[in-house]
Amino acid sequence: MAGYDDRDGKIWMDGKLVEWRDAKVHILTHALHYASSVFEGERCYTGKIFKSVEHSERLRKSAELLDMPLPYTVAEIEAAKTATLEANGLTDAYVRALAWRGAGEDMGVASSRNPIRMAVAVWSWGNYYGDAKFKGAKLDISKWKRPSPETIPSAAKASGLYMICTMSKHAAEAKGCSDAMMFDYRGYVAEATGANIFFVKNGEVHTPLPDAILNGITRQTVIGMLRDKGITVHERYIEAAELEGFEQCWLTGTAAEVTPVGQIGDYTFEVGALTREIATDYEKLVRA
């Protein structure tokens, strides 16, 4: 498979569609040096992006949190995504919207004179965890902790927050795991490197409070689905010692969708009935 920079197709950049291979930035782009970049990961199913407006709103919010207000409205972001999907002839695709501080008069930490830029790329992308999607993913436990919201704007889907995720995932893959679960700065269960986490015990569901992690759009959707079924969902702080007592576990995210987890470190979980039911219901919902 060719590299992501070497493909046919079009990418939307700063208001217009350009050839895929020409979607380039200068080496003195502020974002490349100082992580002034925010993004979205979305999925288009049979021609419709699931929760598209919510993703566009979150992109704008993430950019605001990084002090780089986007020069595009939600409606303009929506139009950009539609145009990119159409230009590439895709109806089932992953959608990556990205906004960043470009190159300009500033090359120090401050960047207010540099342009705020945006791009949208789309491509076909199957299961994020491959086979694990069906068998139950094996997760490592990361040595890195999710930082306090007083350390970094954790509510933003910002590139800087992924530095420890990339390192965690590399370490996990080196051990034969699909991903890593991270604790937060207080020692509570947080999330995986690109997905939220849920546990089942005695027919009730437990998931971390999103006060130091991304409150994923899939997470919110799945909580709504569970409550609609009459299942109790506890959004609360989860201690490390509790991992031993949970029966089932799954991850949620746009890329991960609902992925069962079979193992986290030495703790094992069954791919149980509720996990399978929620995964199936989610698949139906996104295509409804």
Ligand X SMILES: Cc1ncc(COP(=O)(O)O)c(C=O)c1O
Please say which residue, 29 or 254, places its beta carbon nearer to ligand X: 254
Helix axes 217-228, 52-65, angle to 10 degrees: 130
- Residues in contact with ligand X by CB under 6 A are 41, 191, 194-196, 214, 216-219, 252-254
Residue 153 C-beta: closest distance to ligand X, Å? 13
Is 157 tagged catalytic? yes
Residue 196 C-beta: closest distance to ligand X, Å? 5
Tally the C-alpha atoms within 13 A of residue 51's C-alpha that lie toward its C-beta: 21
β-bridge mates for residue 16, sequence order? 13
Please say which residue, 140 or 191, places its beta carbon nearer to ligand X: 191
230 alpha-carbon distance from chain centroid: 27
Contact assessment for residue 117 and residue 102, using Cβ atoms and an 8 Å cutoff: yes
Please say which residue, 119 or 214, places its beta carbon nearer to ligand X: 214
Residue 274 C-beta: closest distance to ligand X, Å? 19
Catalytic residue, chosen from 51, 133, 157, 169, is 157
Residue 48 C-beta: closest distance to ligand X, Å? 16
Rounded to whole angstroms, the Cα distance separating 152 from 165 reads 14
Please say which residue, 111 or 207, places its beta carbon nearer to ligand X: 207
Please say which residue, 41 or 260, places its beta carbon nearer to ligand X: 41
Contact assessment for residue 172 and residue 205, using Cβ atoms and an 8 Å cutoff: no
Q: Which of 37, 38, 36, 10 is nearest to 23 (CA)?
A: 10
Residue 199 C-beta: closest distance to ligand X, Å? 16
Strand, coil or helix: what is 87? helix
- Token pair 């303009």 is at which residue? 76
Rounded to whole angstroms, the Cα distance separating 80 from 190 reads 33
| Residues catalogued as catalytic | 157
